[in-house]
Amino acid sequence: MQASLDTVWTWLGEIPDPEIPVISLADLGIIRDVGYDDDRLVVTVTPTYSGCPATSIIALDIETELLKRGAQKVEIRQQLSPAWTTDWISQEGREKLRAFGIAPPAMAAANCAGMLKAQNVACPHCGSEDTENISPRGSTPCKAQFRCRSCMEPFDYFKAI
C-alpha cells in the first residue's frame, strides 16, 4: 500500500535540516516535487548554495527517513532550475528561525541583488532594527554575522538570495 503524497509531504515536514535542525526540509523550500514513478517514490530536491556540504546529507536523510516510514523504494532527483531562493522558506520556517536566534531573510531575494547593505535586519532577540553587519559570512555560507546595537547580542542572519 503506497502512502499518499499528502502523507509523504507531512513526513518531509518532519525531517530537520541537518545544519539548522529547527526547520524542516519542507520549511526550507528545497523539496520541489514528490511523486510516484511506478512503485518508486521520487523526491525532487534543489540545492541551497551550490557548495553547501549539507546537500548530500539531506539526500541521505530523506531516503533513510522515508524508508523507515514505510516507503518501499525511494529515488532522490536533483534539480538545479529554477534556482533555490530564500523566498521559498515558509512563514512557519521563518518564525522557527527567529525563535532559534537566527534572523530570517529580511526581504525578497529579487530586491537585494546580493547587496547585504540593502537588507534591513532586525535582531531576533530584541526586535531592534539598529543592527550592524560584522561579516558577510557566518557559520555557514547562507548566513552573515550581525550584532545588535540595542541589546548588544551577536546573531546569525539568513541572507536573502
Partner 1 sequence: MMDPFVTFCLRMGDNALILAQRTGEWCGHAPALEEDIAFANMGLDLIGQTQLWLKLGGEAEGKGRSADDLAFLRTERQFYNCQLVEQPNVDFAHALMRQYLFDAWHLPMLDGLTQSSDERVRAIAAKVIKEVRYHIDRSRDLVIGLGDGTDESRARMQGALDELWPFTADLLSSDAIDDELIARGILPDPAPVIEAFRAETAATFAAARLSVPDTGLTRTGGRNGIHTEHMGFILAEMQYLQRTYPGVSW
Residues in the site for partner 1, rule: CB under 8 A? 47, 49-53, 80-85, 109, 113-117, 134-141, 145, 159, 161
Helices 54-68 and 5-12: crossing angle, nearest 10°? 130
Least distance from partner 1 to the Cβ atom of residue 145, Å: 6
Return the residue matching grid coordinates 520556517. Answer: 93
Min separation Cβ 97 and partner 1, Å: 19
Whichever of 3 and 161 has its CB closer to partner 1, that residue is 161
- Nearer CB in complex with partner 1: 5/108: 108
Query: Alpha-carbon distance 24 to 105, whole Å?
Result: 16
Give the residue from 107, 90, 101 showing the smallest Cα distance to 146. Answer: 101
Smaller CB separation from partner 1, 1 or 51: 51
